[in-house]
Amino acid sequence: MGKWAPLLLAAVLSTAFCCTRGGIPTTLDGPFKPVTVNAGFRGKAADLPDSDPRVRRRVNGFEPEQISVSLSATEDSVYISWITGEFQIGDDIEPLDPETVASIVRYGRRRHSLNNEAAGHSLVYSQLYPFEGLQNYTSGIIHHVRLTGLKPNTKHYYQCGDPSIPSMSKTHKFKTMPNPGPTRYPKRIAVIGDLGLTYNTTSTMDHLRRNKPDLIMLAGDVTYANMYLTNGTGSGCYSCSFKNSPIHESYQPRWDYWGRYMEPVISETPTMIVEGNHELELQAENKSFVAYSSRFAFPSEESGSGSTFYYSFNAGGIHFVMLGAYTSYKKSGEQYKWLERDLANVDRSVTPWLVAMWHPPWYSTYKAHYREVECMRVEMEDLLYSYGVDIAFCGHVHAYERSNRVYNYTVDPCGPVHITIGDGGNIEKMAVDHADEPANCPNPLKTPDKIMGGYCGFNFSSGPAAGKFCWDQQPEYSAYRESSFGHGILEVKNETHALWTWHRNQDWYNSAGDQIYIVRQPEKCHVKPESLPRN
């Protein structure tokens, strides 16, 4: 199409946007006719090399590095995390002793008055492979310190490290979340997925930083360290290149590279993460998800879950539930029981917005990972619907897609808007084929997720999915889809309106690739009585 491509793209976008609220559509104007944009810019996925100065170690001795901030369950508390000491990789490794370096944070509301002090805990983890030729790994000392009694919606300053060495970081800052309430929200929340550490990642993060978010949400697949052999050799297709590997190896230094690259952002912007399939990283003694569970701090205990796979927290008038797709989600399991308790305790007069995040999407129309976690949807969708979840964010599929409000494959004005945001910049290729295109429909028996297993495709006897596994055109629940790298920004305006904007990497920094007001209708969409305010 050549020179006409930009004009055709503009025409497609103009038909997708109707003229409400200053030209931005709202979900009340929907459901919208499905739109597919095929003019996406994908670029070549190439990881940053270990020689890139942005991933090299820039500290000495036991000075802190890979510093990050994450939220606790409530607005008056955060976690500060960092690493001291060097990782080791090879045949003969000796783990560092966490007791040799203290975990101290000094903090306050003025840069030069860090009069408060908190202590935390530290740990070291290893990634071990009992096979000839494979290299073992042991991390530096990972520190987690919880700060409490903070003033909500306020900028705080901090240094972390061990003052007795002395070895303290430079001064960083962060801003706490607002108090819960129907009129109080963080200004901008960035949403990304399947980020990795490629040159596309750097473009995503450059765009994201320009939007100055107050909170970052990452929907899994963080570093893609498991796309490398333990000798550092990488591949965009592990199974293609490493067929003879006795175990699926993972090159753990990529985690350290990622922490160093991301530190300028995540040391000052709270970042919340949920696990993806690339965090599995199976090792000796059948251990898995060790790096993920060790490197990040999670409000698991505070939110009553006790698991790094699923937890919840508040950000002003938003209650977030982070769900685990790679642990049991059955109704008889601990996660489901926790979710029932958590949702029943949400007071929608205080936190009107209910947002969920997990890694593999339930409503993606791409061929890649199509209906892969149908079992999770069958187990959990009724519960999320009954409590009136407003938005569900997922990654896994390396593309962007936004649904109409949907429940059980049927357009429903009270169902959540499902957003797939797995386009952060990963080393694997973009998803470009759609399951509804000729010859693209996968074999249903081969679609279940390999980690969780099981086949749950038994719900096609009624409704719009009757007798079908794939649609013969873009399904009516799919409002917009495009194969381009990017990130999203959620701006909750009040108790009923939230502006969602998706930004492509190839556009100007202030351009919107997809934009809509997501509108709640609490008077129309009633939730379970258990979640209503109690007297």
Task: Indicate the pLDDT class of residue 517, thresholds 50, 70 and 90.
Answer: very high
Q: What is the mean pLDDT of residues 10-37?
A: 70
Task: Indicate the pLDDT class of residue 465, thresholds 50, 70 and 90.
Answer: low
DSSP string covering 33-102: PPEEE---------BPPTTSTTTS----TT--EEEEEEE-SSTT-EEEEEEES--EEESS-----GGGS-
Is residue 102, in this structure, part of any structural domain at all?
Answer: no
What integer pLDDT is reported at residue 459 of this predicted model?
55
Task: Indicate the pLDDT class of residue 463, thresholds 50, 70 and 90.
Answer: low
Q: Is the pLDDT of residue 39 over 70?
A: no
The CA dihedral of 382, 502, 469, 458, to the nearest 10 degrees, is -20
Is residue 290, in this structure, part of any structural domain at all?
Answer: yes
**pLDDT cut 90: percent of the chain above it:** 83
Residues 156-185 have pLDDT tens digits of 999 999 999 999 999 999 999 999 999 999
Distance CA 275, CA 281 (A): 11
Distance CA 478, CA 460 (A): 18
Name residues whose C-beta falls within 8 Å of residue 351's C-beta, 6 or more positions apart in sequence: 180, 314, 316, 317, 318, 319
Task: Indicate the pLDDT class of residue 1, thresholds 50, 70 and 90.
Answer: very low
Among residues 520, 453, 463, 460, which one has the least CA distance to residue 493? 520
Sheet strands side by side (includes 65-71): 65-71, 78-84, 141-147, 121-123
Any idea which of 2-11, 122-131, 266-275, 316-325 has the lowest mean pLDDT?
2-11
Residue 396: give the domain boundaries: 31-42+181-519
What integer pLDDT is reported at residue 7 of this predicted model?
31
What integer pLDDT is reported at residue 164 of this predicted model?
95
Residue with tokens 């649904």: 403
Q: How many domains does the chain have?
A: 1
**What's the gap between Cα 483 and its chain centre?**
18
Torsion over CA: 88, 80, 389, 15 (sign) = negative
**pLDDT cut 70: percent of the chain above it:** 91
Q: What are the beta bridge partners of residue 129?
A: none
Which tops the pLDDT comparison, 446 or 361?
361
Q: Is the pLDDT of residue 309 over 80?
A: yes
Residues 317-365 have pLDDT tens digits of 999 999 999 999 999 999 999 999 999 999 999 999 999 999 999 999 9
Distance CA 499, CA 111 (A): 33
Q: What are the beta bridge partners of residue 167?
A: 162
What integer pLDDT is reported at residue 444 of this predicted model?
86
pTM: 0.94
Q: What is the mean pLDDT of residues 86-113?
A: 96
Is residue 122, in this structure, part of any structural domain at all?
Answer: no
Torsion over CA: 249, 253, 256, 261 (sign) = negative
Q: What is the mean pLDDT of residues 440-458?
A: 82
Residues 67-91 have pLDDT tens digits of 999 999 999 999 999 999 999 999 8
Is residue 16, in this structure, part of any structural domain at all?
Answer: no
**What's the gap between Cα 194 and its chain centre?**
8
Q: What is the mean pLDDT of residues 390-405?
A: 98
pLDDT, the chain, mean? 91
Burial class (CB in 10 A: 0-12, 13-18, 19+), 332: exposed
Q: Are 210 and 265 in contact (CB under 8 A)?
A: no
Is residue 160, in this structure, part of any structural domain at all?
Answer: no
Q: Are 221 and 359 in contact (CB under 8 A)?
A: yes
Any idea which of 265-279, 303-317, 495-509 has the lowest mean pLDDT?
495-509
DSSP string covering 116-158: EEEE-EEE--EE---STTPPEEE--EEEEEEE-SPPTT-EEEE
Is residue 256, in this structure, part of any structural domain at all?
Answer: yes
Is residue 475, in this structure, part of any structural domain at all?
Answer: yes
Task: Indicate the pLDDT class of residue 45, thresholds 50, 70 and 90.
Answer: confident
Q: Are 380 and 521 in contact (CB under 8 A)?
A: no
Is residue 237, in this structure, part of any structural domain at all?
Answer: yes
369 is catalytic: yes
What integer pLDDT is reported at residue 42 of this predicted model?
56
What integer pLDDT is reported at residue 446 of this predicted model?
85
What integer pLDDT is reported at residue 41 of this predicted model?
55
Task: Give the active site residue among 319, 369, 398, 434.
Answer: 369
Q: Is the pLDDT of residue 141 over 50?
A: yes
- CATH code, 416: 3.60.21.10
Q: Is the pLDDT of residue 279 over 90?
A: yes
DSSP-derived 3-state class of residue 172: strand
